[in-house]
Amino acid sequence: MCHTFASIGPDRVRLGRNDERGIKMIVSARGINVAWMAMSLTILTPAMVRAEADTTGRVIVEIAEEAAPATTASLPSATPVPLVEPETPSSKRGRERYGNFRIGHDLGRAAAMRPLIARHAAAHGLPPSLAEAVVRIESRYNPGARNGPNMGLTQINHRTARSLGYSGAPAGLLDPETNLRFGMKYLGEAYRLAGGDTCGTILRYQAGLRAERMTRAAQAYCGKVKVLQASAD
């Protein structure tokens, strides 16, 4: 807090400032009304004024100003942050926008995997667009994709594959043919149990074949699948 002091003479009023310690200014004020002086000083400066007379007839005036409020001019200006990273076109990689999400993929790899996906989808009674949407979301057509125990194009795990008849090592699920054989078998079973309903299929594919109660994660996944299916039509 900074302080302002004032001295009142017969010809002038002089104002000054002091540091945070404050100051008491003794002013000769014979015949001057203390209350009138305090009121006058409040008009001269926006401050808290205290004035009192001592035993000698002098007036002690103390004025303490409040610290000025912070202004927005002293604050650093906010830098706008882009919501989406700018993209550059590429001849080798595709990154397409569907609704409010993007799924990048390698165009050449997608072209190579598409016939395999369609063949294994047909073997298990699946719509090709549904099968391809799942592969695209799960692995972006990358047969070497890994996420914890989940592997390959369909991100099936070793335990699930074994329950469907697979007898090889986990690494064997990185082979596109092998992965699609068991991944599409599992997706086909989910599709059958869901009665052909897309979201019911995705729920069972994601949460287990016995799952019946829709989850937020499955709803979001299903929304992406439907958008991708619509774009394939």
Give yes or no: residues 58 and 97 share one domain. no
Asked if 153 and 105 touch (Cβ cutoff 8 Å), the reply is no
Q: What is the pLDDT of residues 158-190, one digit of tens each?
A: 999 999 999 999 999 999 999 999 999 999 999
Residue 213 lies in a domain: yes
Q: What is the dihedral of CA 121, 126, 129, 135, to 10 degrees?
A: -50
Residue 71 lies in a domain: no
What was the pLDDT predicted at 176? Answer: 98
Give me the number of domains the chain comprises. Answer: 2
How confident is the model over 201-217, as a mean pLDDT? 97
Which is more confident, 24 or 153?
153
The 8-class DSSP code of residue 74 comes to G
Whole-structure pTM value: 0.57
Give yes or no: residues 118 and 203 share one domain. yes
Give yes or no: residues 43 and 116 share one domain. no
Domain extent at residue 15: 3-64
Q: What is the pLDDT of residues 55-112, one digit of tens each?
A: 545 444 444 444 444 443 444 444 333 332 333 333 333 334 444 445 555 788 999 9
Give yes or no: residues 154 and 206 share one domain. yes
Q: Tokens for 155?
A: 């991100």
CA distance 110 to 119: 14
Give yes or no: residues 39 and 108 share one domain. no
Give yes or no: residues 168 and 114 share one domain. yes
Q: Pick the last residue of a domain from 13, 48, 64.
A: 64
Confidence of residue 4 (pLDDT cuts 50, 70, 90): very low
Give yes or no: residues 49 and 128 share one domain. no
Give yes or no: residues 41 and 155 share one domain. no
Q: Tokens for 197?
A: 């309903």
